[in-house]
Structure 1
Amino acid sequence: MKTPVLHHAWARIAVLLLAFVCLDATAQVRTWLDRDRIAAGETVTLNIETTSASNAEPDYAPLLTDFFLSGHTSRREFVMSGGRSTMRTLYAVALRPRRDGVLTVPALYVGSLQTQPITLTVAPSAAPSASRAGEEVFIESEPDDPDPYVQQSVGWVVRLYSATPLISGQLDQAAPDGASMQRVGDDAQYQRDVGGRRYNVVERRYLLVPERSGPLTIPPAHFEGRGAGGFFDDLLGNNGGALEANAAPRVLQVQPVPANAPQPWLPLQSLQLRYQSTPQELRVGAASTVVIEAVADGATAAQMPELQLPTIDGVQVFAEPVQADERFTDGRPRVKLTRRFSLVPSRDGGVRLDGVRMSWWDVRAGGARTADLPPLSWTVRPAAPGAPPAGPGQAVRPSASPAIVGNAQPGQSLGDFGGANRIWILAALLFAALWLFTLVWGLHRGDARTAAAPRPARDEAHPSSNPDLKRLIDRGDFGDVADALCAMARPPVHDLDALRARLDDPRQREAIDALQRARWGGGDGVSARELLRHAFAKGPRWRQSTPADAPPVPPLYPGARSGREG
């Protein structure tokens, strides 16, 4: 009588083990550095995250060739996403390069998984003056450009040096008058040698955008905290662990917008355009893809003009949303914009795509520059016999390779396994489906209880309390600014003329007129932003009642729309 029960128990255990094996086959691993560029003598943190259910730790042996290792840590957490529970394990290790130059963090094994190699640039030592090496704690702050232009994105870096371990503390950097300043990313923590003494460094980065020309005084960063005091300090109750430091004040000389600067005003360190991919041929009714990439050094995605293709005679162009990759490199912002365009010819014959052009201002050389792409030409072939016309997003894509499950060879599907293996796999899938059904049922019951419980009344947020409006006015496209202002009305309006009629403040109506002139009439964009910034600092002021009659004259700018100008 015990044998069937025992066999049943072993069968359940086997099903569970097989389910875990199937789940672990989909495990992933990714790796990254907290910085991709450091100075000699500093440390950088290598992070490895895996979703594998095994307890295998990374094999760090390949790192010993070019790095000193220290500070090994690990952390596990369960993440709920889409009704599924995933276990993630994060490993971290501090790397100190043995030499400068361009180094490669090699691929590492985490159990049966393998990471991707990473490139790390190690510059020669850039440690501060050795005269400060005797201090327990001190602060250094610096911009990436001491003489920026108005509306230029300036990277502001604050570094806190501490020779003693910190127990607690607060590092503050006040924003200056006449500029916007916002914190960027997370703090980077590493170690650096200063005058033969080892310091722990906390590096905090900010994005500084001057709003007017002239001297700009940056308030000094301030730190107050406590370090690990000595034995006698703790015994006698002295305040020996208290630490305080202030950075030296800095003054930047902000330059005005040059008279010969191209519009829209785009101050950058560098700008590069390139074709990521272009079609070899075009066919009537078939969609082909052109991918354009723009890499801007010294700007955020909000400051960049929209990537657009010029009109192509006889070809419809359908643009996908822009993909933006923003980073903070060498103390300043850097953005890579990528956009895909589908080209659908309507006739055969020769067609030409004129080169994309983008004007910008070189802040290093102090001159106007133009980034452009070469023109492209194709001979459109007739449509394939019997082929239906393709629309946007219907371009023919290469078929995906068959998925490999477990140890299956390419081209081998689940149905190719033997009968016994098929039974176990089907049993594992059934078990997983039952587990998922139970989880969804439990979550549904919890949602039902939450929905049945009385909810407190929620006041609708006031339309004027938009925290992103100031940042949008500072660095956004004028079309986006118009969209945001129109959306703040209750109910929303469709264009700026209707918005202007709803406003009660004459300064705000004047700012709307300046916005219209800057968008459609060749007005001054810098002055328009200044008017918008001051007029809408406290949000829009609405009339008590909206005029019911239509305006006696046509709109000042016919065809003006609240969307992005074409």
Structure 2
Amino acid sequence: MALTELQASVDKNPVTQGEYIALTVTADDDLESQALDTSALLKNFIVGRTSVGRSTQIINFDTRKETRWQILISPKQLGQVTIPAFEINGVKSNPIALQVVDSASQPQQMQNLFLRTSVSSDEAYVGQLITYKVKLYLAVDLQRGVLSAPNLDGAQVKQVGDDKDSTDIVNGRRYRVIERTYSIVADNPGKLMISGVNFSGDVLVNGAGGGMFSFQESRPVQAQGDSTVVTIKPVPQSYVGDWLVADVVALQEDWKDGQTYEAGQPITRNISLYASNADETSLPDLNIPLPPGMRSYPDKAVKKTIARDGQTVAKLTQTVAIVPSKAGDFTLPEVKVAWWNPHLNKEEYATLPARQIKVKPASNTPTPDLTMPTPTTTTSAGYWPAATAILAVLWLMTLGLWLSARRKAPIKVVDRIMATATTPTAPANLQSAIDKDDAAEVLNALLHEVSSIKGQNISLGQLTQLSAPLAAIASKIQAAHYSRTPKETAPLYQELQGALAQFRSDELQKKQQKSPLSSLNP
């Protein structure tokens, strides 16, 4: 037996660009797998998987052997493409003229797989979310596949939610439909080119020959969606505030009116910002103003994007603890967020109304005793006349000594009086207050230490101007003291002592620099 015949055939002609077809080459002899050279196909085709099969038939003692190569190929260009002739041991196959057409020219009911894409709008503003949907239609069983994201520059692309799987009938043929949604946010104005997505994978099709005994085989497929151009408009010059463009924007807060709060106790506010058809990265930080006499301790804002009923909703949640420092009636100002309505082309505002609150004195603050002491009555003058005489004598002696000292050193007496007037009258021990873990005593002792260093009475409000680190640590200690949940204060006290030591060293250095002797110090 020797090779006498070599035949080549395709399972489909014409073929759409990008579609894979099966090229079959059959030899009437038992040959090695590498006997067929397919390198000539690489010029005009994408060459996929190649499979080799052999068979032997014996009829009336007549033996017939066969070797079959099946090569999956996809044409690279439109028009007429020629599959070259193959040669094995001097025997050649016939060349095949293959007609390649555009996928758009083929009726969809004849296609086993195709893509459809859509965009929510052909115009959008910078920062506005554009919804890009991709639908993959399959009339054959999908074995595996990969759908690429749209390729574009100057924009952020994210997949929204999970893929949706459904069925649809197109031109009388039933298709399996896999839908995927992307959000696109452009960064700059101009023309935004959204290149078509690509799908590549493997499907199961009936094998060559047909009949009741034919088997399904895996066939690679690929498809590409259409490209789209979207016009991106700049931020309007009339807009004021942090740029936010969405369909609808709203502020929401869980708040109960008519409640009374206590000075020094934190008031928790949970405010949520919702923006329909927007991305979480576009949401601005909330500006929550406060009246005088209150401090705020905000947590880090939490942002996320939610896909609901085919809409994309961005949400920002801001939790802030407000601590009133005194009792009284307060007004929490209105919270306002500016946003741009693309449908009306105007600036609008999402608002929370102002809140009226009442703050009562702290329950742990001692109430001063304002009652006058009742005078003690006695029936006899007793020792009062003698005591009065003794006090008069002592007062005269003290006055004499003071006048004598004033004559001798009047300047020192004035200095001493001034020093006494500028020294705090209620000294406190910082370490003792720290050991008690009493925030009020710790802050009182801190002010005493700073006043001693500066030589004048220093209030908590003046501490910020003197030392920002000490003022910041004092605020942290206040927040920890007034928090409803227990907080570790030992690290704060240690940090306070270190900052106080640095402040004392800095002040000493300033005094030395002002002294005339400092220039003589080597």
Shorter-normalised TM range: 0.3 to 0.5
Q: If each structure's strand is expressed as a fraction of its own residues, which one has the higher value?
A: 2
TM-score, reference length from structure 2:
0.46
Structure showing greater Rg = 2
Determine which structure has greater relative contact order: mean sequence separation of CA pairs < 8 Å that are 6+ residues apart, divided by chain length: 1
TM-score, reference length from structure 1:
0.43
